[in-house]
Chain A
Amino acid sequence: MGITIRQADIYDIQAIQNANLHNLPENYLTKYYMYHALSWPQGSFVATTFDEIEEWDDEISLDTVTVKDPKGDTAYIKKGEKIVGYVLAKMEDDPEAEDKTPHGHITSLSVMRTYRRLGLAGKLMRHSLYALCESFGGQYVSLHVRKSNRAALHLYRDTLKFEVTTIEKSYYQDGEDAYAMQKKLILDELKPHLFENAEVVDDFSQDLLDDL
């Protein structure tokens, strides 16, 4: 199926953990994903695909439908639905944190290599930023990115307009430095449909079954 982007919930976390283990060197236990899902349920999003949809196509006769068990693949959360990307986000909840203004933090973001160039990472991030601002009053959001990860840097700096605040020496386990980045959150500027660059905006007044 094409791609669906939606809020993540507890049913997704095993497959999110799977995507994380496949894509990134920083990994977490299931319980940490649960902690995200149960502390900031609005903050995290997934990109999923469906590989079977029957009811949308009347031309396929029932006789040709073969019944199969769900694929025993860790990317699948249920029959036919597979997680191909995720953003895992939280609010700063460290009581020792210096800055007491409410702000969010991106714990992890990744998209399976085979699903890149569809703009999924950017879309996932925008939904997350919007939710952190709307539901939790986040005034800005922060994240870390590996100094060598040019694709990620491009996404955050150029596409999403984050700014580098500092360089944290040897932030990662393997000794690599991180850019610490931040973006100020202003709800009205974050509305996801603004980034559609559409010529017409739905004002909910028209009949969609007629010519606009």
Chain B
Amino acid sequence: MASKRAPILGNKEDTNFNEALKLYDSKQYKKALKLVDANLKKNSSHAASLTLKGCINYYIGNKPEAESYIVKGLTKGENNYIVNHLAGIYYRAVENYTDAAKWLKAAIDNGSPNKQILRDLSNLQVHIRDYKSLVSSRQGYLEFQPGYRANWTGTAIALHLNKNYKGAISTLTKIESIIKEHLQDQDMYEQSECLLYKNDIIFQSGDVQKALETLEDDKPFIKDMLSFLEYKAKYLMVLGRTQESSIVYRQLIQRNPDNIEYYKQLEICLNIFEKPLSSRIKLYENLNKFYPKADPPKYLPMMFIPSSHPAFKEKAQNYILGQLKKGVPASFVNIKPILKNPKKLKIIEEIVASFFENALSNYDPTIKVWGLYFLSQLSLYQKDLATATKYIDTALEHSPTLVELYILKARILKHYKKYEAAAQIMDEGRQLDLQDRFVNSKATKYYLRANEIDKAVDLISLFTKLDKDAVNGCKDLHTMQANWFITESAEAYKRLYHQYEEELASIEKTPENEEIIGSLHDKIETYKGLALKRYTAVVKIFDIFFNDQFDFHFYCLRRGTPRDYIKTLQWEDTIHSTPIYVRVIKGLSEIYLEIYKEQQQKKAVEGEDDGTTVIKKNNKKNKKAKAQSLKKKESLIAKVESEKDDADPLGTKLLSDLVNNAHGNIIDNLLKLSQPLLNEAKDYQFNWELSFKLNLIKSKYVLSLQAIKNLNSILSLRGRITSKIPQIEQLVTELGEAVSKDESVNEAIKKVVKMGLSASLSDYKEAYEPYLN
């Protein structure tokens, strides 16, 4: 069929190529490859054929070779739009989104008539946050296909992302008027979302009055009345129409009396802080009459009524005893924030104790158990472990089948640092309710804390999918992104190798001990590798989280959910501030810094004498031990493998690469790894502590100074605390000392550091002055 069509391209090679391209598009890779190879035999520098061969290689699984053909094709035909397009497709497939965008853009610029490229290009541009270029791609595609609302929404989003509010609003308004007459039932949700999106942009542009008017005009089309009310309440508040705003917040409370946020806003509208306390108490008593089953009307007064006011005791009593009598397990946890006030803690203690002494006999005996459970937690909170134990043991004696009691008992044992015993008690609780995954998860976690990793994995595997050929659920837990489990595992492996390191340090280095030493070395290496492996798995899962947004760049335009799409972009941009991610980077950085220290020590030893013999000998011993334990390792691999056919299941290579600086200096690698935190998780102390340390090692004193400043700002609650902070004093001293000792440091840098310190950390003058004069 193809031969009948006029050749798009001139010569025989081009015709062949054209044919090959069609075969490639219909996934007939082998046939396509034959044609391409024939082409290249005749003309080895046929750019399009080279590039297509790269793509084909990628799809038939010959991945390592693929890129070289792409690169060759591009050098021969950099201005050929077909070459550009294929290169773009290739780079997108290998998730190199920056290069993919670059080459798709080149295809357009070099005159490709294929306008579909604009759609793919804009997805890539938004993915790499090249918002500036995004606008023209989206506009270009809209001109090509103006018949779809999605393309109008896409253009508006591009403009909005560039803070071009006016452009975004007019784009959305235009499509609204075009589509008005043609809306079907199934379009009405999208219509509602797009109207609310436009409304939010009007608000963001600063024209609150207009936003409010438009919102009211569009009301008949809005299907999300929660957003409607929330927008309206907010707008009225910003406009200073607090009386009207308070009514809308009351409507919102009526819709959802369990959302604390509405109560906070209502208080602001009512100017409650200027009114007597009795009014504020009255407000909540009234709200409680409307919403007797909601939590906030009962809870919030306990926060704001001072301990000295008689109403505090009354409210606390009603709240706590009410929950105790119902046997609510969370009755203690719920009031925990109130206990930060020591006077309130005292009153609450009295309430529960007096209930116990005087009224208990009137109630069902299980109430006594919940009371003991409460008192035990209260003692634990005050770090009185003995009393906590007394209460929980009495409760357990009374109700030996109540799972919650075991959970608490285990927690108390954990505070005693009796990790094995804690795990056993949690496991006893688990056995009382085998169907409940929650207590299974708890038992798993406690076994991990006790470093009993095998037991933990066996337990959790009762609830995981067993992959083919797998001996446990380890792979499934990685597939399902069970970050809590993977992180806890990493930490368990880390504790294990630290234990073995301590053991090693206490052993005398004599020939008789050679075997023990060898096996300890082996264990340390294995568990250190596994710790790295697990931590790295979480880092990789977060890479997946980031790339997960890719399909939604187009999907949300079609689906018509631009508001939540914009939120998703923002969420992805700060995804590394997720608490678990920071914990993982913290764990990883500790291992990196240990390895760095060992590298430094090794260097020092090698520098002092010929030294190498000591190390060689050790290596020899290691080798021997390794050979012996090869068998053991195979069964270990089966247990710990985190993905199928993993080339490095134990993290051995991960570890040796770090030790040998295979991918560059370890500190540079750690800086790179922690960089996202500095951008996305600015409120964490840890990030700045790490940044200080790493930059000090790299002699980047100005960056270290910056880190101290940021840390100081967090620790002093942004200046609300004015007393000196010991940690800051310590770091300032370290910085001063390092700068003064460093002979290679440039005088100008010294000056910058000194000026920086006196400008923003002058309270710590005594700490740095001895060094910087």
Contact = CB atoms under 8 A, between A and B. Distances in A.
A63 B438 contact: no
A49 B333 contact: yes
A114 B333 contact: yes
A212 B720 CA distance: 41
B563 A117 contact: no
A173 to B, nearest CB: 7
Nearest to B575: A14
Contacts of B223: 134-137
B336 interface: yes
Give the residue among A52, A53, A149 with the most B Cβ atoms within 10 A: A53
B571 to A, nearest CB: 5
Contacts of A173: 465
Interface stretch (B21-29, B54-62, B68-76, B255-263): B255-263
Given A38-B561, A131-B226, A211-B282, A4 B261 contact: yes
B564 A196 contact: no
Interface string B255-276: 1111111000000001000010
A204 B328 contact: no
Interface stretch (A72-80, A161-169, A177-185): A72-80
B307 A59 contact: yes
A4 B329 contact: no
A210 B618 CA distance: 83
A60 B548 CA distance: 44
Nearest to B258: A5
A209 B290 contact: no
Interface in A184-202: 191-193, 195-202
B183 to A, nearest CB: 14
Contacts of A170: none
B436 A200 contact: no
Contact of B293 (A37, A65, A195): A195
A195 B258 CA distance: 12
B283 interface: yes
B45 to A, nearest CB: 42
B582 A114 contact: no
B304 A56 contact: yes
B327 interface: yes
A25 B580 contact: no
A137 B223 CA distance: 9
B289 A212 contact: yes
A193 B333 contact: no
B643 to A, nearest CB: 14
Interface in A1-28: 1-7, 9-11, 14, 17-18, 21-25, 27-28
Contacts of B251: 204
Contacts, number: 248
Interface residues of B, number: 107
B482 interface: yes
Interface residues of A, number: 89
B556 A38 contact: yes
B561 A114 contact: no
A70 B686 CA distance: 10
A123 B258 contact: yes
Contacts of A118: 295, 328, 330
B341 A49 contact: no
B470 interface: no
Contact of A41 (B282, B329, B564): B564
Nearest to B293: A196
A38 B568 contact: yes
Contacts of B18: none
Interface of B: 189, 192, 223-227, 247, 250-251, 253-261, 270, 275, 279, 282-283, 286-287, 289-296, 298-300, 303-304, 306-307, 326-330, 333-334, 336-338, 340-341, 343-344, 403-404, 407, 435-439, 441, 463, 465, 479-485, 487, 544-545, 548-549, 551-552, 555-556, 559, 561, 563-565, 567-568, 571, 578-580, 582-584, 586, 683-686, 714-715, 717, 720-721, 723
The 10 closest A-B pairs by CB, nearest first: A72-B583, A2-B299, A56-B303, A2-B295, A5-B258, A113-B438, A74-B484, A41-B564, A209-B279, A70-B579
20 contacts: A1-B334, A1-B337, A2-B260, A4-B259, A18-B483, A23-B441, A25-B437, A38-B555, A49-B333, A53-B303, A58-B306, A59-B306, A73-B579, A74-B579, A113-B407, A114-B330, A131-B226, A134-B223, A193-B290, A202-B250
